[in-house]
Every structure is written in structure tokens, then in C-alpha cells.
Structure 1
Amino acid sequence: MKINPITCAVLAALAVNYAYADTTTTPPAPATQPAAATQPANASNAATLGIVTVTAQHTAEDMQDVPITLQAFTGNTLQQLNIVSFDDLIKYLPNVTFAANGPGQGNIYMRGLSTGFLGNQSSATIAPFPNVAVYLDDQSMQFPARNLDVYMVDMERVEVLEGPQGTLFGGGAEAGAIRYITNKPNLEKVSGSAEASTSVTDGGAPNNSANAMINLPIIPGTFAVRGVIYNEHDGGYIDNVPSTYTRQPTDGGGAMAPYVAAGATPVANNYSVAQNNWNPVDTQGARLSGLWKINDDWNFLIAESYQDLDAKGQSSTYPIGIDGQTLGTNQITSFVPAWNNDHSANSAWTLNGQIGDLSLVYTGGYTTRHVSEQQDYTGYSRSAGGMYYQCTGTSAGLSSAGKPICYSPVGYWNDTVASTHQSHELRLSTPEDYRFRVIGGLYYEDFNIDDHMRFDYKTIPSCTPENLASALAGGYPCVANAQSSPGVNLADNTAFGENAERGYKQEAAFASMSYDIIPDVLTATAGTRYYHYSEWETGTEFYTEGNMVNVPNGTYVGDDTVMNYHQSYHGFKSRANLMWHITPDMMVYYTFSQGFRPGGFNRTTSGVAKLDGEAQYQKPINYAPDTLTNNEIGFKTTFFDDRLLLNGSFYDMRWDNVQMQFFNPLVLGNTTFAVNGPNYKVDGGELQFQAKLTDGLSLIGAGSLNHAKQTNSPCLINNIPGSAGYNTCIIETGAVGDVSSFANPFGTVGSVPAFSPRSQYNMRLRYDWTFNGGFKAFAQAGFNRTGSMYNQPATYPSGAGVTDITTVELRYLQAGYTTVDASVGVTKDNWDVSLYGTNLTNNHASVFTSSAQFIESEVPIRPRVLGLKVGFKF
């Protein structure tokens, strides 16, 4: 598709907007009814900024009266900005970063509170729980390293709550929370909408999307249903280029040299899977909700949501290909079919009512999620660990018998995950107009994950009857299939993996009290939450060993480690704030808040960090929760009759006993493990503004500035009684005659944490006007800037210039980047049409650089997109 130069010029006006761009929302709904947005189609023509209503404190209130740093995007704003995914949303979120391996495969961080991200293999089993909570209405959607990518269509609003929310939202909201709030059925009005778009990606395949909504009062004033369906196809833009894989004498630290010298190293190629635009993504889903007004005091809402995400290929690129060749922008050399299929369903119900003067809310939900993912792991074959499972005939391979020979270097991993998440919450609250107000509740959740992970890089032939007979007759050795327990025979090429179940049950009680010391002027609030977690991990970790050489497939040789771990913990997390309305339009506040996230388990407790053959460190079975304490002052103001809004906050946060993960096969063993480590301190500030320059012209902006650093430097202590150096810091590792220093993996005092850019900011301009015949038009313009950041803590080895990769924890500097978006459009009666463009400067940047696949990989932002969108409403 060729784009007319005039169209490109028009698209040079940018579409970026933000929390306050939607100038009008519905006033707070009565406590007995779910809030529903009924905004005018072109609210931004209003002469003032208007009110944005949120429920960040489990009560409907003007966001200018909420004493925390808060951003809210109403449904109208989301449509104006063409936001449907978190990748779209994050451009407008200063103080939020996202380590992403692709759709539905990432971790969200707020205010730089991160210790790095290792990638997705085994993440359902080994990754710590996230410290930013994700909610769909009142249902928690959290998941280790795999945030559910909720498709944002027919949304009432999205709320982004910064800082600890542990009192009201629990253990997943240590650093903050993101709340997706859907539109609810309207009891009185038949309405509907339909929208379709088509677009082109620079250097990639076309995109298209469509969605439709219908609202039907089945019994007007008593019962209504609302349904929405959507389908989006994002064309691929990453090319999997043809490549060979040639083993080098330097592979495996030189262990490959005898195989190369013997001519026993076959050359592999990826010709069967090489293709252009190999990373398309299809997202389909539906949501159906019903609202029953039982009487004037009670109503009941039930909703069913389903989403199917099918991401083909990989979302990462390689600067250097698998055979050492320099690749172009948005290219990769992958050797296996790759995909990520993510299916989720959520059933939710909410009962609202009045008991005397008290408002009661009971809400519950049940979420299921099934993920199947396969990704290339051929880079691992250049390491000593990888070639061990692919070669025989020397001490470097799995068997030293026979002549040297290597088999295919092509490897991959396959992960199949199923999870269930059940939750129930009961809240009672006093009337919002009382001088002394109380909200309290009980909470219960049951979260279960079932993970079947396979690392399939063993290419030595398995011991079928024919292969075994040949091996025993003096032929090349064979290796029996791994087993996870007696009678469970795995695939021929599976070398390592786990069958694990993991989860927790949580019971909690919370209460928050507010008192107007001076009504409408000075308010004090205090609250706390008691929590009790019962956490577990069970299953087996299995692997291939030398005693599986030349034995029949199906022979169980005890090659698995049984996991049967349990722990529980409890405590309180609290908050308090003081809010002073100096004038009706000027509020200042102080907030103290605490947060935490659950602990977890490691799969094995083997000894590592060996010195002269003797282990110095025993990996722990479990690690404890970490905690966050926040002290924040801020102001929220409007001026000039609500034509200028200026909000700001300054905070000091202390993150203690922080969970960290290690994976360094040459020193710390061949499986990832987590421990509690250092403390971090974050001092920062955020500023948000919006100005109504004229009735049709708005200027919006936001930015953050953070100074994040490590405040202590614990060491990895020799914890094996009786060993030399017991109870002292480990400073050396290695074999006799080959001892080397051991760098402290926890980092150093003053170093910068991962995914913590110094600054982030954005600014945007929007103009609305009308012209002949009742046409309404708009144009939007702006930019977003994200500063540079590292992907790992400071003491992790640098990845700059490294081609012989032996760890998944190399530290890379992710360069800062700027994106520019744009849209122009016209509305007439029930119809609207718009042209839009994203990343108009076609900037190339990585949002997640990693060595997680034993090769340097980058997850790029999407190239320039130019599109057309048409919508209809009634």
C-alpha cells in the first residue's frame, strides 16, 4: 500500500493524550449501582476541564480528591488515543516501565522498583510474583512474569495507582496497581456501536481490527444486558532470515575443539521456518454482562469475559545472528516454529445493596488461563551446558565413549501452563457524606498454577531398541529419555524441565477510617490490612544424567527431584494520610503507605559456588516476602475556573529485603533460584498538568524524575556448616589451580536498579472545532520520552560486546527513546472517521534487552503505523 505524501503531512499532527484528556465523566453513582460512563461524544469541547470520577479507594470520588499519585483514562480518552493494549497505554504513563517478551509476556514496574527480568522460560514456576497488581474490575489478574494483556474495548476507564496499595488491594499491589474497569449495562437506554480500522506497518504486514457493542434493556429499569465482541490482527514486522549454524572450536569455552577437528559437527539451517513478518498477533474476545436492579436498594451484576491471544513467531530480534553475522533492523535467526497461545476466561459477580445506612458490596470472581508457548533456544548450544546434551565421545559430552560426534544444535523450550484464580471480597461502608466514614471488609483468594516445562535441546539419539542394540555393539552411544517419575516417559529430545504446581491461599481483613477534622477542609484517614498466606509448590524437576547412557527408554534411574514445599506468613500493612483543601480548588496531602508481595520457592536446594570441588552455598528452599514503605507529599490544584490543572507529588520509598533471582550456570548451578537480598531507596517526583487554552484547544503533559539507588550490599554467605569459610562472604570459586574471584551478585551501594529510567515525560496538544453542516473535527499532536535504563542490577556482568554468552543475566543498557503519534478526525451525527499514526519518526528502540536465550535479543517497539478508523454509534 502506497501512502500519499499529503496524507503523511496531515498525519504529522500527533495524537497523545492522558489522564485528564476526557473532560467529563459521569458523577459518582449511588452506592447501590455500578458506575457507568455516559460521556458526551465530544466532551473535550467543554469550556472547563470537568471531573473524572474514580474508585481508587473503593468509593466513587473526584480524582482530584484522592491523596495519591493517580492517573485515569476514561473510555472516551482510550478511543481518542487508539489504545487497546498495555503497549499502547504505557506511552502515556510516566513512572511506569514494562519488560516485555511479547503480548501477555511481561512484568510491569512502577517508580523503578525492579531487580531485573529473566525472560519467560519456566516463569510460571520460578518467577517471583509481580509487585504491580493488575485488576479487571474487582478481580485480580496477577501472574508471575505474564501480565494478562487485557484488550481495552468498551472500557469505562483505566486507573493507574502509584505507590503501595497494600491496605485495600493486598499483596500484589506493593508498588502500585492497574485497574481495568469495564462499562456496565444501562438499564434505560438501547445503545450500540461498531468500529473498524485498517493500517500499515512500516516494513511489515497490514493490520486490521473490528469491534461491536450492544446494550439492551430487556426489562427497562430492571434488567439489562451488554455485550461486546472484538477481533484484531496485528501484522508481523520481524523477519526470520535464513541462516546456518556452524559449530566453532571456541564453543563451550573451547570444549568443542576436538569435535570440530574430527569433522563431527553437522551444519544446521533454519530454511524451513525462515520467513518475513513472522510475528503476527491475533486477539479475539467477547464480554457479556447482565445487571438486575432488584429494588431501589439492591442490584446484582454478573459478567463473563473471554479472550484468545495467538502470537506467532517471536517478538524479539537479534543484533547478531546465531552464526555471528550482523543482522539488520527487526531481524532474527530462529530455527524452530515459535508461538505463544494465551486463552483466558473470567466469571465475575457483584452484589450491591443497602443495610440501613450501610452500603454493602460482595464481589467474587473465577479466572482460568491456559498458555502454550514455544521459543527457540538454539543459542544455548554454544555453551558448555548445551553441547553436553548434543555430543558424545569426549569428556565434554554426555558420554565419553566412542568416537567424537555431535548431533543437531537446534533446541527449543516448550511451556504449557494452566491456572485458576478464585476470589471473594465483602465490603461495608458508611455514607460518603458522614463526617466520620468507615470502610471495612474481608477478602479470600485461592490461586493455583500448573506448569509443564520442557527444555528440548537433547539431540543425542534416544535408546530405542535399534539404537540401543547398535550402541551396545560398539556403535555411537544413545541416551534414554528423561523421566519425571516412574512411568512418565518424556519426549526424545527433552533434557530438562519440571512438572510443578504452585499457588497460595490468602485470607485478609481490612479497614479504613476517615474523619473530617474541618468539614470540606481538613481530613485524616488511617487504615490497615491483616493478611495470612498459605503458600505451596509441589511436583518434580527432571533432567538427563550420565546414568541414562545406553539404557532402554523407559528405564527409571531416579533423575528427578521431588518438590513438596509449604510456608505461611501473616502480618499487617497500613496507610495514613492527611488531606487539606486550602481552597475548594487547591488540595495538599501527606500519605504514608505500606506494601508487600508474596514470597516463593526454589525448585532444588543443591550446593553451588564450588571452591576446589566443595560447595560453599546451599540454595534455600524458599524466600520471604519483600516490603515497601512510602512517604509521599503532593498537591492537586485547578485554576482559572477549572481551565488549568496542576498536580504534583514527591515521594521517598524504602524497598527492603528485596527478592532477587540468580542464574549463572558456571558458578551458581544450572537452575535459577531466588533469595532475599538488598534494600533500595527511591526519591522522586511526578508532575501532571492540563490547560484549556481555548474552548477547543487543550495542552496536556506529565513527567517523572527519579533517583533510585541501592542502600546496602549484603553478600552471598557460605551457609554450609563444616565447609571452609563457613558463615563468611563467598569471594572465590573454581577448581584446584583455576580459582577466580566471585563478584557479589547482590549489587553495590549506590548502584541503580534495573528498569529505572531517570526521567520519563510526555506532552500533547489537542484541538477540537466545528464547521459547516454540523461536522466536528479534531487534531492531536505530541510526543513521549523514556530515558535510558539497565535490564539488570549493577554487578551483573556487562553484555556489551559479549558473543560467548554463558549466563542469562548479562547487563545491557537500553537506550532512551522518543515516540511521536498523531491523529486527525471528523464526526458527523452518529459517524466518525479518523486517520492516525504511531511512532511517526519510525524510531527503533528496545523495551527489553536480554541474554535469556543465550544470545543477545531485543524486543523492539513497533515501527511506524499509519491507519484509518471508522466508527458508528447509536
Structure 2
Amino acid sequence: MAYKYSGASAIALTTALAGTAVLSGAVQAEVEEIIVTATKRAESTQDVPVAVTAMSSTTLEDLNVDVFTDYLLELPGVSSGGSGPGQGTIYIRGLSSTTPHLTVAGVSGLAPNVALYLDEQPVTQVGRNLDVYAADLNRVEVLPGPQGTLFGASSQAGTIRLITNKPNLSTFEASISAGVSFTKGGEMSEKVEAMINYPIIENKFALRGVFYNDNQGGYIDNVYGTRSAADSARFASSTARPNGVLTSDGFQAGADLSAVTFLDADNLEHVEENFNDASYTGFRVSALYEVNEDWTVTATHTRQRIDSEGVFFIDPELDDPDDLSVQRFSPDEIVDDFDNTSLTVEGRLGMLEMVYSGAFLNRDTAQTVDYTDYLFVGQYLPYYICDASVSYPGAADPSGTCQPPNLYVNSTTDTEVMTHELRFVTPEENRLKATFGGFYSDQKIVENNNFTYPGSRFVAGYAPGEIGFPQNGPLPGSSVSDPNPRPLGVIFFNDITRTDVQKGLFADVTYDLIPDTLSITGGVRWHDVDVRLKGSANSSFNNLFYQEDVNDFGTNLDTQFDGTQVINGVTVPTGAEAKGTVFKGNISWTPNENTLIYFTYSEGFRPGLPNRPAGAGGGAVPAIIRTDEVVNYEFGWKLDLFENQLRFNGNAFYVEVKDLQTTIFDPTIVNLFFSDNAANAEIKGVEGDLTYAPTEVPGLTISGAFSILDTEIKELVGASVAIAGPGEDLANAPSFQGNLRARYAWDLNDDMRAYVMPRITYSASSYSDIVLINRAEQDSYFLMNMSFGIIMENWSAEIYGENLTDERAQLSNNLYFDRERISINRPRTFGLRVSYSY
């Protein structure tokens, strides 16, 4: 039996062996050799001296993996932040400081430190990772640790690769699968996926297409409630938590507000059970043309749309074990569309293998976000929704009216990314071999955020004889994507264009000191990354009182991308550049065919960025965020033991982190999100995966993986807000994560096989942020799943249960607005899946 899952790990392969639909006898209990491409050349998984963990297509199906959070839950050492479909962020080995706030993630967000690849193409994006549905994937491949020499800027903590199935030139294939599931206290979900592979010219030209539609029912309730401006940070008498923003510095501190009329925001029209629905709809079409024996061309087009309503977090103050709930006062919805077209040309030039990969990605998101929680920290909120007699009283005891604080944001993000890579590989049989090439990418993000306060249209007293604020618009002289005035009620807006341009040259050279036994590798990458901003961020108060000035209420970014902006009359940069070289060194020893020992030194980096509110807070906000850098020392092993019945791969690592970047929202400094360098840190850890296929029990496979982390802040580097001190943990860094599953398959008769697979997942507790005002402890969790299925020659059927103990796994935590909002996993779910293949 031959299996060849490029890039898959042992854990993926053995599961595939145990669960395959081959009905000609018991599955051979042996971990077989497979091929990986983790170093951009084809090598045996046990011969490549790097850590690589993956899930094959069979494993993805066995684990019922469909979307972003599904596969992250199955990968120890990999954690995530975010708040729903299309809004996730990946962290590897605990190298994390914060989770971005999505309404400004594109313009103010840090560059990710984990690179995300779709086949040969990097699709890493600022703030919002591409949430690619796992349809007809060959594997999901994870390379932990800095991969800066081969994969560039955003691979500081690691790289995740989504590898699709390619067209088959010789065989017609087709399959269809459908499923339905039921969630405790929630709505029904259903999905369908179909694939067809058609060789148009046998052994020469083939097409492959896949279509999918997955409707995921909601499980969180929007429950009734009211809010008023009396809860605002300007008027409230205390904070919601010890580290929250100041609430006693407002104009009304200590004043008698009994004569003020506070009108309630009432969410009755938005009350709904199970309001967090989501759907993934899309297709992918690939064409493979074999020009001749040496050259092939592959073209792929992918289109996907996510429609999501509601939110995927709960308010723990409202929640009880049987009622997952939150209070929202405006609609929450997102439409996330992307189109991606890629071209890969592979061939041979003399002794060199050549690969060119180019791609163009266009992604549009349109999102409405309830912003009512902002009243808990919005120190300027009363200006916008209260009469002037309340905000600027003529006597000690003010009077007047404050309108309902039903705030919301309309946000659009248009992203275009063009990438090109050309690389060459020397013959594998050479004693001296190399991989080298060049890379270029150009990313443009145009983001518009309209922060709308409906009550601002009814306030009195700020302009003589007028009610309400005038229309807001771009600052004079700014370069914006929309030059028109914003709708009435838009009190603040961002209209910012961000460009990230990256150039790189790389080389990876290996020399066999003793052929097949001892090798050394050296890698280098020269990089030049340039990040720039232009546009306008402006408030209605700026338009009213400061038409000619640029100040803390508004930012005017230069129209020509010449690298400057003017804040309070001071010229500061609007561009950040990271230019330099990173290195990798590796030595590997193979004393016998079943053992590989290696040591790796590697470097990684993440470029800095300019701050829109540079100089604000009395100069507390820096103009430019410095590049943060990591150095990684890693000792690893790959062992095939007991006549290939047991495979144990693992590594121990030590990482030094310098100038770790973080995102901050602190209204006591400035009423905008900004970024800063927070701390130097170190990370120590051990990770591994284990697969056991005993010959005594044909059909049984036991697989497990674990990650042990010890993260520590070593030194603060002068951030403008309080950071967790030396000795404290980094964010999203559980001290232990692990999973274990056993799959047993047996023959029912000559035509039918059955299998059963229980599995468990555990994560220790972690912290949500390193910024103290946003830092909350996220509880540990333990998840249990079970599946049972029957496989025939062309048919298969499975019933499964997920989260059988109905655990509330805290996947991320948002404290930006002084109220805890916890993103959780789906409650207990039972489902049925049926598939047919031809």
C-alpha cells in the first residue's frame, strides 16, 4: 500500500492508514515513509531536520475540520484570538502580546507574526487572517518557530500552509458529501461539498473543481437590556475593574446629575435567540497542464463568501451554564468576500528545478459592529449625545438631556495583494545542494470606519440656534478614498490607506559532511519591508471648532506617501521601513535509518509601523513602532521505534524576543488605538507528536501531540501604558496543550468496514493580553469528542459527537471597553455525515 501525502506528518499518515476505505484486509500497523515539502524541496518526513506537524486530507475529514478555529483546536502549541468567522489571529509557541480590535485592525493592526500560505502563495493579512474553508485540502501543515529565511517577514513565530489537492491528469474522480448537526440550545447546521476531477486530455491537461456551502447555526442569544449615558466613563462613579480607565476626571466629577434626563437605549427590536449564524459558500477551480516531461503549469481560481450575523462572544455577567448570552443594541453582521487567482510554473533549466508562483488576491469586507460598550470608556461620549448644558454646565448642577447611547460602526475594508516568487533548487543527490530565489509582494488596504452616534442629531447648544452636529468630512488637504461628507450621525471616521511592500532574496544551502549521516545547512534572507499610511481620521468636534488645525481630535496623513504627517504642528513619519538580513544554521545527524537528531539556530522579524495618533498624550504615543525580532535555538529528534510501530518526533526550544510589539487602547492617553513596543521576553518549551500502530492489534492507531511552554517577560522597554511586569507570562501562551485520539477499524464483512474514534483535547489557562488594562485570565478547558462510522467501497457514513461534556472553552477574551467579552467554542453538538466517491 503506497501513500504519498506531501508535507504530512507521521501523525497524519498513520491516521490515514487506519481510517482508509481499503477493504482488502486488515490495515498494516506500520508507520510508513512519506514525503514533505516543508523546506521547499521534496524530502522524507523523517529526513528533513525541521519541526513540522500536519493534518492530511483524511485527518481533516476524520476530525471534522472545516474552518479556521477547527484546525487550531487540534494543534498543540498553536492558539488563536479573534471574535468570529473571518476575524481570527494565529499564535504559535506563545509568541503573542494582544489580539487586534477588528474595527481598526487594517490600518492600526500589527503585522501578523505567523505566515499563512495557500499552496505556494502567502495570504497573510493585517488584522484579519483569511478564513479559508477546508474543502478538498491535501493537508494543513504547521512549521513552528522562525521561518524567516524561506518564508519572510510574517513567519516570525512560524508558518501555516494550506495545501490543496491538484488536478489528476490520468483519472476521473468525483465525490460529494453532506452533513447535518444539532447543537445544544442552538440551531441546526447543514453543509454540502462536491468535487469533480476531469482529465480533458489524458496525461496532459486536467481540471479539478470543488464547491461547498456550510450553514452554521447560532448558539448565543441577544437578550433584552437597556443602557444610558449615565454609564459613561464621564459620569460613572467607579470603573468596572481595577485596571480600567479613569472615570473620575470628567467635567461632571462630583456634580449632581439628578436634573439630567438620561434616555435609554433599548434593544428590544434586536432581541433574538441563537443570533450568531454564519455561512461559508465558495468554489475553487484548478487547471493543470503538462507542457512536456520537464514543465507543468497550474492555474487556480478561488472564490469564497462568509455571511455572519451576531457575535461569537458572551457577557459572563449575564451568562449561566445553560444560557449563552450578550446584550447588543445595533445589528452585528459581516460579509467577507475574497477572490484569489494563482499561477504556478514548474520546470527544469539544465540541472536546476525552477518554480515560479504568482497570485493576485482581492478581499472585501463589509461589517456593522455594535459599539454601545464604548460608553464604558468613552470619556468624550457625552459631548456627542448630551446637550451642551450637560457637558458644559453654567452651574454646579447641570440639566439637559442625554440621548440613547446606541452606537455602531459601519466598517469596510478593501484589500488587494499581489505576490511573486521565483526559486531554484539544485539536484537532491548532490553533496552540496541549495534552494535560492527572490520574493516580492505588494499589499494595499483601504479601510473606512464610520462611527455613528444616532443621538448626536438631537443634541442642543453647541452651535447657536442649531440642533445636532453638522456632517463630518475629511480634513482639508488629506488624501482619502471617499472625499464626500459622511452621513449625519457619523461623529468620527477613519479613511486610511495602508500599503505594505516587501522584497526579499533568500538562499538555503546544505552540505553533506558525511553522506547520509552528517549535514550542515546555512540560510540567509535579505529583506526590505516598507509600511506607509495616508488618509484622514476625524471627529465632528474637529470640524466644528478646529477646521484649520490638526490636533488630537483628528489626523491628516500626507497625500503623497512622502513619509510625514503633521500632528499639533510637528512633522512626524507616516512610514516605517524594515531592511536587513536574517540567518539560519542547522546541523543534522542520522546515526541510523530510524533516527535523526538536529540542532537549529534561526532568526525572525516583524516590521514596525507608523502610529496615526503619533505624539498624542503629551508625546506618549511613538511615531514609529520598532521592528521586533526573535532568535530561536532548537534541538529536535525524529525516531521510528519498535520496527516502525512507534514514531516519536519532538523538539526543545529557547526563544529570545526583543522589542515585542503590542496594540493599545487607553482613552486616558488618546481616544484612538495605537501600537507600541512593550517588552523583551523569553520562551522555553518542549513539543512533540507520537503515533503508535501496534502489530498485535491490526487496525488500531493511537496518536497524540503536546506542547509545554514557559513564557516570561524579562524587561519592559518603555511602553506608554502599564505592561505585565518581569516574570509574568506572555498572552495566549498556555503552559500545556495536548490531544490524544485512538482510532480502531475492523471488517464487518468483505464489503464493509467500521471504525470508532474517541479523542480528547486539553489546554491550560492563559492570559488574554500583556497590557494590564486588557489582561484577563482565560480558563483551562478539556474537550471530548467521539465518532463512529462505516466505510464501503464508494460510500461512507459517520455519526459524531463534539464537545460531549459541553465545556465552555475560552478561546479569547476582549477587555478593550472595560467589560469582559469571552469568545467560546460551540456547545455540545451531534451530527451525521454521508459521502460518496467515484
Calculate the TM-score normalised by the size of structure 1: 0.86
Of 346, 352, 356 in structure 2, the residue corresponding to residue 352 of structure 1 is 346
Tell me by how many angstroms 1:570 deviates.
Answer: 1.1
Q: What is the letter of the counterpart of residue 306 of structure 1?
A: R
Distance 2:690 2:616 in 1: 55
Question: Counterpart in 2 of 1:868?
Answer: 832
Matches within 5 A, 1:469-484: 472-473=464-465, 477-484=467-474
Q: What is the letter of the counterpart of residue 431 of structure 2?
A: R
2:503 is paired with a residue whose SS is strand
Distance 2:491 2:22 in 1: 58
The answer (yes or no) to whether the contact 1:589–1:633 under 8 Å persists in 2 is yes
Distance 1:631 1:362 in 2: 32
Question: Counterpart in 2 of 1:34?
Answer: none
Distance 1:92 1:378 in 2: 35
The answer (yes or no) to whether the contact 2:677–2:717 under 8 Å persists in 1 is no
Question: Counterpart in 1 of 2:504?
Answer: 508
Q: Are 2:808 and 1:847 aligned?
A: no
Q: Are 2:450 and 1:485 aligned?
A: no
Question: Counterpart in 2 of 1:734?
Answer: none
Tell me by how many angstroms 1:845 deviates.
Answer: 2.5
Q: What are the superposed Cα offsets for residues 335-392 of structure 1, whole Å, 9 maximum, x if unpaired?
A: 1111121101110001111111110111100001001111111122244332332112
Distance 2:542 2:528 in 1: 44
Matches within 5 A, 1:124-273: 124-248=106-230, 252=234, 253-254=236-237, 255=252, 260-273=257-270
Distance 1:18 1:198 in 2: 30
Matches within 5 A, 1:380-529: 380-383=374-377, 384-394=379-389, 396=391, 403-457=399-453, 459-461=455-457, 472-473=464-465, 477-485=467-475, 488-529=484-525
Question: Counterpart in 2 of 1:584?
Answer: 593
Query: How large is the Cα RMSD of the aligned pairs?
Result: 2.6
Of 102, 107, 111 in structure 1, the residue corresponding to residue 93 of structure 2 is 111
Distance 1:674 1:541 in 2: 16
Of 821, 824, 843 in structure 1, the residue corresponding to residue 785 of structure 2 is 821
Q: 1:528 to 1:842 in 2, by over 3 A?
A: same
Distance 1:399 1:631 in 2: 65
**Range 391-400 or range 503-512, more displaced:** 391-400
Tell me by how many angstroms 1:557 deviates.
Answer: 8.1
Distance 1:54 1:657 in 2: 34
Question: Counterpart in 2 of 1:679?
Answer: 680
Q: 1:341 to 1:854 in 2, by over 3 A?
A: farther
The answer (yes or no) to whether the contact 1:19–1:73 under 8 Å persists in 2 is no
Q: 1:251 to 1:570 in 2, by over 3 A?
A: closer
Q: 1:222 to 1:348 in 2, by over 3 A?
A: same
Q: What are the superposed Cα offsets for residues 405-452 of structure 1, whole Å, 9 maximum, x if unpaired?
A: 111111112210000110111111111121111110011111111000
Tell me by how many angstroms 1:625 deviates.
Answer: 1.5
Tell me by how many angstroms 1:240 deviates.
Answer: 0.4
Distance 2:530 2:22 in 1: 48
Q: Are 2:742 and 1:745 aligned?
A: no
Distance 2:229 2:470 in 1: 25
Of 591, 597, 602 in structure 1, the residue corresponding to residue 611 of structure 2 is 602
**Range 53-62 or range 844-853, more displaced:** 844-853
1:122 is paired with a residue whose SS is helix
Distance 1:251 1:133 in 2: 39
Question: Number of residue pairs matched?
Answer: 787
Question: Counterpart in 1 of 2:707?
Answer: 704
The answer (yes or no) to whether the contact 1:501–1:538 under 8 Å persists in 2 is yes
Q: 1:478 to 1:328 in 2, by over 3 A?
A: farther
Alignment gaps of 5+ in structure 2? 1-7, 238-251, 477-482, 559-573
Question: Counterpart in 2 of 1:637?
Answer: 639
Distance 2:541 2:110 in 1: 28
2:718 is paired with a residue whose SS is coil
Question: Counterpart in 2 of 1:573?
Answer: 582
Q: What are the superposed Cα offsets for residues 197-218 of structure 1, whole Å, 9 maximum, x if unpaired?
A: 0010111000000000000000
Q: 1:496 to 1:818 in 2, by over 3 A?
A: same
Of 513, 523, 527 in structure 2, the residue corresponding to residue 531 of structure 1 is 527
Calculate the TM-score normalised by the size of structure 2: 0.90
Alignment gaps of 5+ in structure 1? 1-16, 27-37, 609-614, 718-743, 798-809
Q: 1:263 to 1:713 in 2, by over 3 A?
A: closer
2:13 is paired with a residue whose SS is coil
Question: Counterpart in 2 of 1:20?
Answer: 11
Q: What is the letter of the counterpart of residue 311 of structure 2?
A: Q
Q: 1:415 to 1:399 in 2, by over 3 A?
A: farther
Tell me by how many angstroms 1:274 deviates.
Answer: 0.6
**Range 139-148 or range 253-262, more displaced:** 253-262
1:264 is paired with a residue whose SS is strand
Q: 1:833 to 1:331 in 2, by over 3 A?
A: same
The answer (yes or no) to whether the contact 1:24–1:51 under 8 Å persists in 2 is no
Q: What is the letter of the counterpart of residue 454 of structure 1?
A: N
The answer (yes or no) to whether the contact 2:680–2:717 under 8 Å persists in 1 is no
Q: Are 2:363 and 1:369 aligned?
A: yes
Q: 1:546 to 1:166 in 2, by over 3 A?
A: closer
Tell me by how many angstroms 1:395 deviates.
Answer: 6.0
Of 661, 666, 670 in structure 2, the residue corresponding to residue 664 of structure 1 is 666
Q: 1:546 to 1:167 in 2, by over 3 A?
A: closer
1:64 is paired with a residue whose SS is coil
**Range 121-130 or range 376-385, more displaced:** 376-385
Distance 1:398 1:825 in 2: 72
Of 764, 777, 795 in structure 1, the residue corresponding to residue 754 of structure 2 is 777
**Range 587-596 or range 527-536, more displaced:** 527-536
1:439 is paired with a residue whose SS is strand
Question: Counterpart in 2 of 1:293?
Answer: 290
Question: Counterpart in 2 of 1:833?
Answer: 797
The answer (yes or no) to whether the contact 2:316–2:820 under 8 Å persists in 1 is yes
Tell me by how many angstroms 1:134 deviates.
Answer: 0.5
Tell me by how many angstroms 1:153 deviates.
Answer: 1.2
Q: What is the letter of the counterpart of residue 147 of structure 1?
A: N
Distance 1:172 1:39 in 2: 36
1:410 is paired with a residue whose SS is coil
The answer (yes or no) to whether the contact 1:792–1:812 under 8 Å persists in 2 is yes
Question: Counterpart in 2 of 1:739?
Answer: none
Q: What is the letter of the counterpart of residue 682 of structure 1?
A: I
Q: Are 2:91 and 1:84 aligned?
A: no
Distance 2:830 2:231 in 1: 48
Tell me by how many angstroms 1:858 deviates.
Answer: 0.9
1:678 is paired with a residue whose SS is strand
Tell me by how many angstroms 1:25 deviates.
Answer: 8.3
Q: What is the letter of the counterpart of residue 858 of structure 1?
A: I
The answer (yes or no) to whether the contact 2:677–2:718 under 8 Å persists in 1 is no
Tell me by how many angstroms 1:541 deviates.
Answer: 0.9
Q: 1:421 to 1:25 in 2, by over 3 A?
A: farther
Q: 1:816 to 1:19 in 2, by over 3 A?
A: farther
Q: What are the superposed Cα offsets for residues 689-748 of structure 1, whole Å, 9 maximum, x if unpaired?
A: 11002221111111111111011123358xxxxxxxxxxxxxxxxxxxxxxxxxx62332
**Range 360-369 or range 263-272, more displaced:** 263-272
Q: What is the letter of the counterpart of residue 563 of structure 1?
A: L
Distance 2:417 2:729 in 1: 35
Distance 2:506 2:655 in 1: 23
Tell me by how many angstroms 1:621 deviates.
Answer: 2.0
2:314 is paired with a residue whose SS is coil
Q: What is the letter of the counterpart of residue 514 of structure 1?
A: T
Q: What is the letter of the counterpart of residue 339 of structure 2?
A: A
Of 781, 806, 811 in structure 1, the residue corresponding to residue 775 of structure 2 is 811
Distance 2:21 2:515 in 1: 33
Q: What are the superposed Cα offsets for residues 587-609 of structure 1, whole Å, 9 maximum, x if unpaired?
A: 1000111111121111122431x
Distance 1:245 1:120 in 2: 23
Tell me by how many angstroms 1:545 deviates.
Answer: 1.4
Distance 2:455 2:383 in 1: 10
Question: Counterpart in 2 of 1:9?
Answer: none
Q: What is the letter of the counterpart of residue 645 of structure 1?
A: R
Of 21, 37, 61 in structure 1, the residue corresponding to residue 43 of structure 2 is 61
